[in-house]
Structure 1
């Protein structure tokens, strides 16, 4: 592993092997995110669209890419290959990786305020109480939808913290990329292969 690259691991549908072979790259389409989430996709897609737009300001996105590719920073925390999937072991230039905190991502996915710390969490709870709101989940969907544009803005601004990593562990840090290029692929791990046996 070079000083200018990082090792990433990502489980993908084995249908991605074809574009890798034919076009020399794999990219993610919004439709794949939709298929992955099924009926609940409309809710999650707004969060994914926000992530795509915001991440693209940090690491420029190729024009034909509609969503990032989720990657683990360790073999240990990567989803294991099961039927119909493979795991790509990648060596990616550092400047192409968008690091973020997956634990914080849950706040974005649930479209709620992402506090800076315990004190901020308490202050926000107090703020909600002051404006007579008991449930911070309902600003984007539900009874408060469209009624509190300034709260929606406050919540969206707080999501930037997803890119601030307070404690770096293999369990909370993800490294997303916009594409898997053929030259990034070091190994392809198939179902039944030992992913964690990879020592590099």
Structure 2
């Protein structure tokens, strides 16, 4: 079988235990925007805008199945994965490498906060100077604050900078995540329940 010859990677993801029924019924688990809304509650609209951006950009890297609306967040290590708590399980997965979208989770915070993601220290300093020249105290207010809609070029520049989340400068278990579009039944090595060790 073709899949057996592909290189695979081990991933770990904590999910609601209701996904067990989806896996049994459909042979796969997929994510929907509604699940993100439920997870984040009142602050969901802010997160959904970022998740939608990520979904568009990630689908240009790994083709997204038509019925999938959001990616599934995964840890690349057992040590750094979220442990199962009541109402959740952890899926230990063996996924074809070409199905994984790697990104820097520390850089993801820039997307969530709607701020410019600098290339390096020098770029960070140049951007700070640029903000001072604009007379802007901080870069947090272009999308949600007092400068909203006033600087379309700045908004474009910030959005373009977010692409850098896919550039991994430092590969560690703490900053690198590997997202996937689905969990297929054949990828599941183990399902870890609360009170069990993730191995």
TM (normalized to structure 2)?
0.97
Name stretches of at least 5 consecutive residues in structure 2 with no aligned partner. Answer: none
- Aligned counterpart, 2:177: 174
1:73-119, Cα deviation, whole Å (9 max, x unpaired):
00110000000000000000000000000000000010100000010
Name stretches of at least 5 consecutive residues in structure 1 with no aligned partner. Answer: none
Pairs within 5 Å for 1:45-84 = 45-84=48-87
1:131 and 2:134 matched: yes
1:129-169, Cα deviation, whole Å (9 max, x unpaired):
00111120011101111111000000000000000000000
- Aligned counterpart, 1:12: 15
1:173-196, Cα deviation, whole Å (9 max, x unpaired):
00000000000000000000011x
**1:44 offset after TM fit, Å?**
1.1
Q: 3-state DSSP class of the match of 1:112? A: coil
- Aligned counterpart, 2:154: 151
- Aligned counterpart, 1:165: 168
- Answer whether contact 2:6 2:96 (CA < 8 A) is retained: no
CA RMSD of aligned residues (A): 1.1
**1:54 offset after TM fit, Å?**
0.3
1:30 and 2:6 matched: no
TM (normalized to structure 1)?
0.96
Distance 1:141 1:59, change over 3 A: same
Equivalent residue pairs, number: 196
Q: Distance in 1 between matches of 2:35 and 2:5?
A: 32
Q: Distance in 2 between matches of 1:119 and 1:163?
A: 20
